[in-house]
């Protein structure tokens, strides 16, 4: 499997069972190759032999595959399982707006990347005011929604609708709807797009601030987003568009609390659920990762309790971050922080 992570001019880090490891730095897109759901990072290569002395393998789900390069025993070259590439966009960080294949395509400050499970990626192309679609099998990059002109017009087609600095994306479990968090001069809204038809509507109007991160609960009934400017986590009932404060009291700070709305956040940004239903928050202002459990409250998961910025790898509060911006979890439960 592979995982695409977006970077906005900062180092990307990995947190596995609260142990943080630093991976790589600037570019537009990176692909990090994974084997058996575990991170592939530079380390001493293992001594391994494939079954039958060939590179053919059969995975536990019964599907066939192969390792590259072919190996009949001995040390596997480190680069064979720790590869970082730039498959889409400029390899020299040149910005622009070009629909094309692979490295010929151009983006301008892509803020979020999300997969639909059907071989497609969607990109919130922030400064181009559009949503881009990438077909992974071909590398084709096209404009999926938006005209390139900043605006808030809903339309019967994605290409007739306008967006204003899309920053966050979320797809529901059925792959039916794409939710888009927009940031416009400090104010923001959340739009809903039916993927099959392109119809765009407004779920949450321009009345709340800067929804930089979006996440949906397992039931598919609620969206949660990080209200960056107001230092709270919001909850949106999708069926009605009703917005409530899920966690945080609006005061910037580091206070944890068993009562969700008594806790303090400081510029919360990315949000992501784990399989147990806990919500994790990348705090840009506090340089840490917070965990929200609906029963036990808000706690510090990783990073300095004092909010000290840094790039120290470690376990839990022994690690430090520097303005973490995005967060995601893979099916194995490993967390990745940008």
pLDDT for residue 7: 32
pLDDT for residue 191: 94
H or E element: which one contains 6? strand 2-6
Question: Could you give the C-alpha distances from 189 to 148, 201, 225, 265, 273, in angstroms and in order?
Answer: 18, 11, 11, 21, 21
Residue 183: closest CA among 124, 250, 143, 245: 124
CATH number of 104-337: 2.120.10.30
What does pLDDT average to over the chain? 81
Residues of the chain under the 50 pLDDT cut: 1-53, 58-59
pLDDT for residue 84: 81
**Is the four-CA dihedral 286, 287, 293, 298 of positive or negative sign?**
negative
pLDDT for residue 317: 95
Residue 146 has which token pair?
Answer: 């938006």
Question: Could you give the C-alpha distances from 152 to 155, 162, 235, in angstroms and in order?
Answer: 10, 5, 22
How do residues 138-196 score in pLDDT, each as one tens digit? Answer: 999 999 999 999 998 999 999 999 999 999 999 999 999 999 999 875 568 999 999 99
């Amino acid at each position: 499997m592979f995982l695409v992570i977006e970077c906005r001019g900062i180092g990307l880090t990995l947190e596995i069972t609260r142990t943080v490891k630093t991976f790589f730095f600037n570019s537009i897109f990176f692909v990090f190759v994974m084997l058996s759901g575990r991170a592939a990072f530079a380390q001493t290569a293992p001594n391994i032999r494939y079954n039958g002395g060939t590179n053919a393998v059969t995975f536990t789900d019964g599907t066939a595959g192969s390792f590259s390069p072919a190996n009949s025993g001995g040390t596997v070259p480190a680069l064979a399982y720790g590869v970082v590439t730039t498959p889409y966009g400029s390899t020299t960080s040149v910005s622009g707006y070009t629909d094309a294949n692979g490295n010929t395509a151009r983006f301008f400050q892509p803020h979020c990347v999300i997969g639909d499970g059907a071989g497609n990626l969607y990109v919130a192309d922030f400064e181009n005011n559009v949503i881009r679609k990438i077909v992974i099998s071909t590398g084709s990059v096209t404009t999926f929604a938006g005209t390139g002109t900043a605006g808030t017009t809903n339309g019967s087609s994605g290409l007739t609708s306008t967006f204003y600095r899309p920053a966050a994306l979320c797809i529901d479990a059925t792959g039916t709807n794409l939710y888009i968090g927009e940031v416009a001069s400090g104010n923001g809204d959340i739009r809903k797009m039916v993927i099959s038809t392109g119809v765009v509507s407004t779920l949450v109007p321009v009345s709340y601030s800067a929804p930089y991160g979006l996440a949906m609960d397992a039931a598919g009934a609620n969206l949660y987003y990080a209200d960056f400017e107001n230092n709270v986590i919001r909850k949106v009932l999708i069926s009605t568009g009703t917005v409530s404060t899920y966690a945080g009291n609006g005061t910037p700070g580091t206070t944890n609390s068993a009562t969700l709305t008594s806790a303090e956040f400081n510029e919360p940004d990315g949000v992501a659920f784990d399989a147990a239903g806990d919500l994790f928050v990348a705090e840009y202002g506090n340089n840490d990762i917070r965990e929200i459990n609906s029963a036990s409250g808000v706690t510090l998961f990783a990073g300095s309790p004092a909010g000290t910025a840094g790039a120290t790898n470690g376990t839990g509060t022994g690690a430090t971050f520097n303005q973490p911006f995005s967060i995601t979890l893979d099916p194995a439960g490993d967390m990745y922080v940008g």
